[in-house]
């Protein structure tokens, strides 16, 4: 596993993969268990963090808010972002406990702090940013106390040794940096903050309605409660909200990758800030809890449907009779191709190919991250990859499967630019289905292989399947993650 990570473009340390392996076979459910449990634990830790200062009602608001956020979808994905969120929230709770408790309780909090930070650092490389809120709060605390808490400093420093594991991962990922799929931009930064603010829209609206319903002319609203966060915890909450800015600067400074999910702990900052408002106005909290619970219940089926894997009828509807076409299938999008190689049934799997041409990928999508990633993965997992020109030379006709909503799809545009003939397959392209099926007749003049194709072509590409083995039934199942 470590060899695959060290020699590939993956930026994730190995802890999440080890957790998935420990959970059992990498099935649709078991592979998601670590993320789901960690996300739930993070919500509980967030609730306790706020409850210690503002009471259980405000804590419940903080614990429910992530269920309304875009971060909730990562609780059901077999990726490390649920673990990143959970470990960051537990680290925040442990730091709070260690800074306020004494004796054996403090020792336990310090140990938990080190374990939580270490867990986060070994889950994702951008977890290094959780030091920002912890150090911001600790600096305020040290200033107010006029002395350094050396035990706390040691608890924070020891896990930082995990950062040494990032060095080989960073060096191996530099091949993707020149044409990064997630290059930092002002638009992506604004998008990250929009994702953080978005879950506050409904709770704030509910709070405004509750305030308005209780207001009467000549009668003042109830005075805010005195309870509040101490300065160091307020500083930590504000620093959590600054994580997207820090990640953006980090991407510009060297990593070249920025995405809102890398700063998923910032959702905790939004939850704490809103819970602080609720804690100062305890009279609205019961009504707000009911509204938040109702919204969570309404949002959960929608988000679960987004996270769940659709059946093959979404990829190929029942009216699509692929068994009448004995041709290989070229999947235009690598993000769709990879899960299909896992979830497709035995009748469809031998027909699936992904074509490699880094120059075409850069030309049409401005990045070749998918090509580099699949090429690296093919050294450890059997994938049917073939160079674009070699595949066209071998197959005068083939089927093209394209997800129209993907920004990583370049194959259809490349074929049209070179004069290929594309005919829609009857019954396969239905309204509302982003998956399109085309019968392709290669261009009259075959394109010459580019240097980037040759470099990306696997050393031993798998042979094309025999016609007798490529028939698939209309009801075959392939489910992408």
- Long-range pairs for 241-248 at CB < 8 Å and ≥24 separation? 241/196, 241/266, 241/269, 241/270, 241/273, 242/132, 243/129, 243/132, 243/133, 243/269, 244/189, 244/192, 244/193, 244/196, 245/189, 246/129, 246/132, 247/126, 247/129, 247/192, 248/184, 248/188, 248/189, 248/192
In a domain, 474, yes or no: no
Query: Does one domain contain both 82 and 182?
Result: yes
For residue 419, CA distances in Å to 120, 413, 425 come to 50, 10, 19
257 three-class SS: coil
Query: Does one domain contain both 404 and 370?
Result: yes
Q: Which of 291, 307, 323 is the last residue of a domain?
A: 307
Instruction: Quick: pLDDT tens for 28-47.
Output: 777 888 999 999 999 999 99
Strand pairing category for 352-356 and 329-331: parallel
Q: Strand pairing partners for 219?
A: 216
- Candidate from 125-129, 240-244, 346-350 with smallest mean pLDDT: 346-350
Query: Does one domain contain both 70 and 13?
Result: yes
In a domain, 399, yes or no: yes
CA dihedral sign, ordered 166, 257, 76, 437:
negative
Token pair 């199942």 is found at 477
**Band of residue 316 on the pLDDT scale cut at 50, 70, 90:** low
Query: Does one domain contain both 67 and 183?
Result: yes
Q: CB-based contacts of 86: which residues, under 8 Å, 6+ apart?
A: 37, 38, 39, 40, 41, 42, 45
Query: Does one domain contain both 295 and 336?
Result: no
Query: Does one domain contain both 258 and 337?
Result: no
What local confidence, expressed as pLDDT, does residue 289 receive? 60
What local confidence, expressed as pLDDT, does residue 308 receive? 45
What local confidence, expressed as pLDDT, does residue 455 receive? 44
Q: Strand pairing partners for 398?
A: 440
129 or 469: which leads in pLDDT: 129
What local confidence, expressed as pLDDT, does residue 293 receive? 55
In a domain, 477, yes or no: no
Segments forming the whole domain that contains residue 206: 2-307
Query: Does one domain contain both 141 and 233?
Result: yes
Query: Does one domain contain both 301 and 316?
Result: no
Closest to 49 (Cα-Cα) out of 39, 35, 63, 34? 63
Instruction: Quick: pLDDT tens for 231-258.
Output: 999 999 999 999 999 999 999 988 888 9
- Candidate from 119-123, 151-155, 171-175, 255-259 with smallest mean pLDDT: 171-175
In a domain, 437, yes or no: yes
Domain count, the chain: 2
For residue 336, CA distances in Å to 83, 103, 179, 222, 422 come to 24, 54, 20, 55, 20
Query: Does one domain contain both 173 and 141?
Result: yes
Query: Does one domain contain both 138 and 183?
Result: yes
285 or 299: which leads in pLDDT: 285
In a domain, 475, yes or no: no
Instruction: Quick: pLDDT tens for 197-236.
Output: 876 777 777 766 766 666 666 655 555 555 578 999 999 9
Burial zone of 96 (CB within 10 Å; 0-12 exposed, 13-18 middle, 19+ buried): buried
Instruction: Quick: pLDDT tens for 351-385.
Output: 899 999 999 999 999 888 888 888 888 888 889 99
How far apart, in whole angstroms, are the C-alpha atoms of residue 126 and residue 427?
A: 45
Query: Does one domain contain both 330 and 378?
Result: yes
Q: Which of 272, 307, 342 is the last residue of a domain?
A: 307
Q: With beta carbons less than 8 A apart as the criterion, state whether 282 and 55 touch.
A: yes
Q: CB-based contacts of 395: which residues, under 8 Å, 6+ apart?
A: 327, 328, 442, 464
Q: With beta carbons less than 8 A apart as the criterion, state whether 315 and 474 touch.
A: no
In a domain, 440, yes or no: yes
In a domain, 476, yes or no: no
For residue 38, CA distances in Å to 13, 32, 53, 110, 462 come to 17, 10, 23, 20, 39
In a domain, 22, yes or no: yes
pTM: predicted TM-score of the whole model, two decimal places: 0.81
Query: Does one domain contain both 259 and 328?
Result: no
Q: Which of 281, 307, 333 is the last residue of a domain?
A: 307
């Amino acid at each position: 596993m470590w060899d695959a990570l060290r020699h590939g473009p993956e930026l994730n340390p190995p802890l999440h993969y080890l957790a998935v392996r420990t959970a059992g076979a990498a099935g649709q459910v078991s592979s998601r268990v670590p993320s789901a449990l960690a996300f739930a634990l993070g919500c509980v830790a967030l609730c306790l963090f706020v409850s210690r200062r503002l009471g259980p009602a405000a804590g419940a608001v903080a614990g429910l808010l992530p269920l309304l956020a875009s971060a909730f979808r990562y609780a059901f994905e077999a990726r490390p972002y649920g673990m990143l969120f959970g470990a960051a929230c537990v680290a925040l709770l442990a730091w709070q406990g260690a800074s306020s408790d004494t004796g054996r309780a403090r020792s336990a909090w310090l140990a938990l702090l080190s374990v939580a930070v270490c867990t986060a650092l070994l889950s994702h490389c951008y977890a290094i940013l959780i030091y920002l809120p912890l150090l911001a709060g600790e600096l305020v605390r040290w200033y107010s106390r006029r002395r350094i808490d050396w035990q706390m400093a040691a608890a924070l420093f020891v896990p930082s040794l995990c950062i040494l594991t990032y060095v080989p991962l960073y060096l191996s990922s530099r091949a993707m940096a020149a044409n990064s799929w997630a290059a930092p931009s002002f638009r992506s930064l604004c998008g990250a903050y929009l994702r953080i603010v978005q879950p506050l829209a409904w709770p704030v609206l509910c709070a405004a309605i509750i305030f308005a319903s209780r207001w009467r002319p000549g009668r003042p609203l109830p005075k805010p409660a005195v309870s509040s966060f101490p300065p160091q915890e307020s500083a930590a909450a504000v620093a959590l909200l600054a994580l997207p800015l820090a990640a953006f600067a980090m991407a510009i400074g060297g990593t070249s990758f920025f995405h809102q999910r890398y700063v998923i702990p910032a959702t905790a900052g939004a939850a704490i800030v809103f819970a602080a408002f609720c804690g100062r106005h305890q009279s609205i909290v019961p009504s707000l809890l009911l509204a938040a619970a109702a919204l969570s219940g309404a949002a959960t089926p929608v988000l679960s449907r987004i996270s769940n894997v659709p059946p093959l009828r979404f990829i190929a509807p029942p009216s699509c009779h692929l068994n009448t076409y004995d041709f290989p299938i070229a999947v235009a999008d690598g993000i769709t191709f990879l899960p299909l190689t896992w979830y497709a049934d035995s009748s469809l799997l031998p027909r699936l190919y992904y074509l490699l041409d880094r120059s075409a990928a850069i030309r049409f999508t401005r990045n070749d991250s998918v090509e580099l990633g699949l090429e690296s993965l093919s050294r450890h997992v059997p994938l049917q990859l073939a160079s674009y020109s070699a595949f066209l030379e071998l197959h005068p006709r083939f089927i093209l499967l394209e997800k129209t909503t993907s920004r990583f799809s370049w194959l259809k545009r490349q074929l049209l630019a070179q004069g290929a003939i594309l005919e829609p397959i009857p019954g396969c392209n239905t309204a509302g289905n982003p998956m399109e099926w085309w019968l392709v007749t290669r261009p009259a003049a075959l394109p010459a292989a580019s240097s980037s194709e040759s470099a990306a072509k696997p050393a031993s590409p798998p042979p094309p399947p025999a016609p007798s083995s490529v028939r698939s039934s209309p009801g075959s199942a392939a489910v992408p993650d």
